[in-house]
Amino acid sequence: MRILGIETSCDETGVAIYDDERGLLADRLYSQVKLHADYGGVVPELASRDHVRKTVPLIQAAMAQAGLTPKDIDGVAYTAGPGLIGALLVGATIGRSLAMAWNVPAVAVHHMEGHLLAPMLEDNPPAFPFVALLVSGGHTQLISVTGIGQYQLLGESIDDAAGEAFDKTAKLLGLDYPGGPMLSKMAQSGSADRFTFPRPMTDRPGLDFSFSGLKTYAANTVRQSGDDEQTKADIARAFEDAVVDTLAIKCRRALDQTGFTRLVMAGGVSANRTLRKKLAEMMAARGGEVFYARPEFCTDNGAMIAYAGMVRLKAGEHADLPVIVRPRWPLEELPQVSAG
């Protein structure tokens, strides 16, 4: 089965083709970072218009890369939410139109399930069950995963997501959008001893997160400590260490609560090297394993949508005729896919 996957939930246009026997046949991505940089964040209307311009050419490029024609495609998967409604509608309408024209089924994919399943694209995919840490610009969640569609939310951010806090703190340090990766790079030259930031909500039971206060703490530290480059690097290091430690503490609690020995992390922030090192050390000490996708599959991409769509199409799912997208869509509402 060959599936065309289309991702247009925010500021990246991703298109990929996945074959359930041969694996990933094509993968194309266009990032809108330069388009939104002048505004310091994603402008929804500009994002939607750019998806209109880029999606079809990327589909054509992916088909050419794989050496396929429409007759070789068995289904079309598209991101139906969560995300920016205008951006979602672009991918959904193109995906549904192609499926109808090619006389193949279409399937609406949950964006976060795509991220959660992205490590399945690797040579050493995780087996069920596992705890998933979904950590991105829009989400920070801990989920118990016992199978496809068998998701139990254990904890989530009650305010800013971790990636959002990274970007906002980077802006405080004078870094351009998107600042999260730039902050992490700056932190590499920072001192671990100069500043100590709080580890929010770790002094109480539970698995929820809160990062807005940490961002405020960073703002106060910037205001009180000056803005020379070394000070900025030291603040970046203290902030990153605080976020990474907080995520690790909550992951440890989730593993203790579930009794699982496998941890999966996914989403844009899962590409953070400090976080990967911290969680790898933690899981090694516990005698467990940690899994994550390669960096290019941590951020939004078409490959994860194609794979998730393939799983659900093989289970008999398909989208009804009306084109429906959901800017908000709880992961727990997804139907379960039976084994085999």
Residue 23 in marked binding region: no
Q: Any idea what the Cα angle at residue 27 is, between residues 2 and 82, rounded to 5°?
A: 85
Residue 115 in marked binding region: yes
Structure tokens at 142: 């801990």
Residue 167 in marked binding region: yes
| Closest by Cα among 12, 45, 9, 17 to 29 | 12
Count the helices and strands in the chain (H runs, E runs): 10, 10
Residues whose CB is less than 8 angstroms from the CB of residue 191 and which lie 6 or more positions away in sequence, other chains included: 230, 233, 234, 237
Structure tokens at 23: 């694996």
Structure tokens at 78: 């598209």
Distance from C-alpha of 136 to C-alpha of 156, rounded to nearest angstrom:
12
Phi/psi at 137 (nearest 5 deg)? -70, -25
Residue 318 in marked binding region: no
Distance from C-alpha of 256 to C-alpha of 193, rounded to nearest angstrom:
30
Residue 135 in marked binding region: yes
Distance from C-alpha of 157 to C-alpha of 333, rounded to nearest angstrom:
19
Q: What is the spatial order of strands in the sheet that 130-135 belongs to? A: 150-156, 140-147, 130-135, 262-266, 289-291
Q: Which residues pair with 141 in a beta bridge?
A: 134, 156
Residue 137 in marked binding region: yes
Residue 134 in marked binding region: yes
Residue 83 in marked binding region: no
Distance from C-alpha of 78 to C-alpha of 24, rounded to nearest angstrom:
16
Show binding-site residues. 111, 115, 134-138, 167, 180, 272, 300
Show binding-site residues for Fe cation. 111, 115, 300
Show binding-site residues for substrate. 134-138, 167, 180, 272
